[in-house]
Chains A and B, each alone.
Chain A
Amino acid sequence: MDLRYSDADEQFRSEFRRWLEAAVPAHGAPPARDDWDGRRAWDTGWQRKLFDAGYAGVNWPREYGGRGATLTEELVYYEEYARAKAPYVGMNFVGIRHGGPTLIAEGSEAQKQTHLPRILRGEEVWCQGFSEPVAGSDLAALSTRAVRDGDHYRVSGHKIWTSFAQQADFCELLVRTDPDAPKHRGISWLIMPMNLPGISVRPIDTLRGESDFAEMFCEDVRVPCENLVGPENDGWRITNVTLRFERGSAWAQDIFELQEYLVDLSALVAQRAPQDASLQSVLGQLAAEADALWALVKWQLGETAKTGVPGLGGSALKLAFTELTQRVYEFGARLLGRAALSRDATDDPSGWRSSDTFLNTLSFTIAAGSSQVQRNLIAERILGMPREPR
């Protein structure tokens, strides 16, 4: 067992740190929440800067414009990114963290050549068309139909929680291509251009009062067959494989950021209630759990390096991280006292808008497989407990 970064890793760290120190302040403050065009320009503009400097797609293959970093370089990258408080991936989330990695694992050469460099350069924004009104945790119950018609699929259905659908250029879309097969075996994964006729998008306000969310209606949308990723009716496997690839390392940056927040909360405790031993104790408990999560990321990376395939442990990481994050921000909001009743940045001296961010963390334990789904996965796939009748 060894936790030491190599000299090459440290060399990379200092280069990246130096670049971030200049680039982050230069990118300025993010636009207002309802300035959609401004937000797209800000998010993709930052992505472009990362790309030009050679820091986009840290773990993506070099041939598609990625950095092709080692696992430890990737950790260093996330550490420094969080330390510099660099811009959140924002609107690039689906392309960078999900759609792109799916194409890398399962896409055709043409699909990779077409999309990966453009995602990395900030030229393509993606959204996710997975959930449906009656297919949430039971994702495989989805009913959006894709019927083959010559060299096209005709797609009709209703998707929901399609974040940034209004701004997206492409959608990673799960559709039912074989309605007669068992529900997990009749699903396919399509790349749907968002400018096709028949697509309409309706924003949905989240409990934070913003409309990052949307629902999407497809009425006889003609998607070219060449946009099928992987074999027809193999979409469920593709979805599960790539979810696994995504879950491990993507949390590293968020965990490190949580540790940074805890340091700022500690300053707030020292200022507001330096004598309150119980607050110190709670703060230490939360920080100890964050430390353990960070160690678990490293442990799981070691496991991946040893076996070549990410294990199922990502579910444990997702579950623990999202539940802890809620507790930490709730603690932060409580520290503010009545100031937490304002969501304005000016009322939180920590600079983290704790009460507003707390509201946002409520989605973490629901999105990308709720905590309850993760617990089922852990119990059934890792601990070998029997499946519920379903």
Chain B
Amino acid sequence: MDFQLNEDQEALRAGVRVWCEDRFRFEKLAEVVQQPLAREWWRELAELGVFALRAPESAGGVGLGMAEAAVAFVELGRRLVPGPLLWNLLAAELIPGAASGEVIVGGLDQPQPADRRRPSATPAQPTDAGAALIEYGDAIDVLLVLRDDGVQRIEAAGQLPGTLVAEPLDPLTPMLRVSELPEGTIIGDAALAARLRLEGTALTSALLLGIAESTLEYAVAYAKQREQFGRAIASFQAIKHFAADMYVRQELARAATLAAAVTIDDPAVGDVSRAVASARVVAGAAARENARKCIQIYGGMGFTWEMPPHYYLKRCMVLENTLGQSPSHCTTVAAHLAAPAS
């Protein structure tokens, strides 16, 4: 047992971090807001190997594990890197061109029972309630749909029928409102769908962990330089105790997220489904609470558009609605308690 990043993993993390700092440091984010996804940076991400990390070397991939993917995704989460990141990685072995970044893959999770699965089964309401919101729906080449009975591939070619959401909650995550999905082809069975959900949930946890880390850093840095009552607000216990709790949540989220990734790579060390669900619950709470406390510590500035914290909270809300919300993952963990493995 050696539960620490090894040298290669440290190097991978450093490499991705350098790229993120260069491409997506906060000052540059404003340029990205509501812009269509730029193929240029998508290819750069692919050149870093981010999408091909898990694909076997024989298929032109890097041949590493979920542990490495998680390490890279934490960094992407820290800098709010936009794009349907996890879908491109999940599709690396399924969709030619995904690993190299030439094809942008989006995704939609449809876990409902068959009769309620297709939005077209019910006529669109005036409010469009019931329509699916698809991230980057206007930019993706291929849409993967995860259903309980299998995985569907839909050709999108940047032209999925739908209307662009005028005000997406996360300004860095454009959404396409889609009432009826085009026909697709089945490319995998229920087991594949379940596996992709699991792996996608692990990657989501890594992105959430990145948010937890970044918001803690922002909050502490701001508190150290912001003065009130003649001293830095970081010297007040009320602020310190917020920050200490943020730190604890971050540490728990990191340990759980990396443990889940390692468990996916080596299922002999634990129950994969429980490890992934636990990590997602803890990472979700860490990202959500840390982003909210970050806004609170920034005070009035935290409520402004120009400051970073709100972007993190909004991205967190996107991720917390990706591949199931926290309560459903809690239920998964509880089910494992009732029927312990081994």
Contact = CB atoms under 8 A, between A and B. Distances in A.
B175 to A, nearest CB: 28
B330 A288 contact: yes
A388 B232 CA distance: 10
A380 B239 CA distance: 11
B57 interface: no
A378 interface: yes
B66 to A, nearest CB: 10
Contact of B270 (A2, A3, A384, A386): A3
Interface stretch (A121-129, A167-175, A200-208, A300-308): A300-308
Contacts of A75: 1
B331 A284 contact: yes
B1 A6 contact: yes
Given A1-B9, A266-B337, A280-B335, 9 more contacts: A2-B2, A2-B266, A284-B333, A292-B278, A375-B237, A375-B240, A376-B237, A378-B247, A385-B243
Contacts of A380: 240
Interface residues of B, number: 60
Nearest to A388: B235
A280 B330 contact: yes
Interface string A116-134: 0000000000000000000
Contacts of A303: 4
Interface stretch (B72-80, B117-125, B135-143, B250-258): B250-258
A281 B270 contact: no
A9 B2 CA distance: 13
A165 interface: no
Interface in A276-300: 277, 280-285, 287-289, 291-293, 295-296, 298-299
Contacts of A293: 252
Interface in B212-248: 216, 220, 223-224, 231-232, 234-235, 237, 239-241, 243-245, 247-248
A140 B241 CA distance: 22
Given A270-B338, A385-B224, A1 B3 contact: yes
Contacts of B223: 385
Given A1-B4, A292-B278, A386 B237 contact: no
B279 interface: yes
B234 A284 contact: no
Given A1-B6, A302-B3, A285 B281 contact: yes
A113 interface: no
Contact of B332 (A270, A284, A305): A284
B263 interface: yes
Nearest to A304: B4
A302 B320 CA distance: 30
A114 interface: no
A298 B3 CA distance: 6
A2 B340 CA distance: 22
A146 to B, nearest CB: 33
Interface in A368-390: 372, 374-376, 378-380, 382-388
Contact of A4 (B1, B232, B258, B331): B1
5 contacts: A267-B338, A283-B334, A285-B281, A295-B255, A383-B220
Nearest to B333: A284
Given A283-B334, A302-B3, A313-B251, A291 B245 contact: no
Contacts of A12: none
Interface string B1-17: 11111100100000000
B178 interface: no
Nearest to B286: A292
Contacts of B9: 1
Contacts of A316: 247-248, 251
B275 interface: yes
Interface in A1-60: 1-6, 9
A293 B255 CA distance: 8
A320 interface: yes
A348 to B, nearest CB: 18
Contacts of B232: 386
Interface string B322-339: 000011011111111110
A266 B282 contact: no
Given A4-B269, A287-B334, A387 B235 contact: yes
A251 B220 CA distance: 28
Nearest to A290: B278
B337 A3 contact: no
Interface string A251-286: 000000000001101110110000001001111110
B332 A2 contact: no
A291 B256 contact: yes
Interface residues of A, number: 56
A72 interface: yes
A361 to B, nearest CB: 18
A384 B335 CA distance: 41
A316 B279 CA distance: 17
A288 B258 contact: no
Interface-central residue, B224, B274, B326, B337, by most chain A CB under 10 Å: B337
B255 A298 contact: yes
Nearest to A71: B1
A266 B334 contact: yes
Contacts of A2: 1-3, 262, 266
Interface string A65-76: 000000010010
Top 10 nearest A-B pairs (CB, nearest first) are A284-B330, A379-B240, A284-B334, A375-B244, A295-B255, A292-B256, A288-B281, A266-B337, A284-B333, A295-B259
A155 interface: no
A371 to B, nearest CB: 9
Nearest to A372: B241
Interface centre among B5, B247, B255, B327 (most CB of A within 10 A): B255
A3 B269 contact: yes
Nearest to A266: B337
Nearest to A386: B235
A194 interface: no
B99 interface: no
A319 interface: yes
Question: Which residue of B216, B244, B331 has the most chain A CB atoms within 10 A of its CB atom?
Answer: B244
B156 to A, nearest CB: 35
B332 A1 contact: no
A145 B9 CA distance: 53
B337 A319 contact: no
B114 interface: no
Nearest to A274: B338
B278 A287 contact: yes
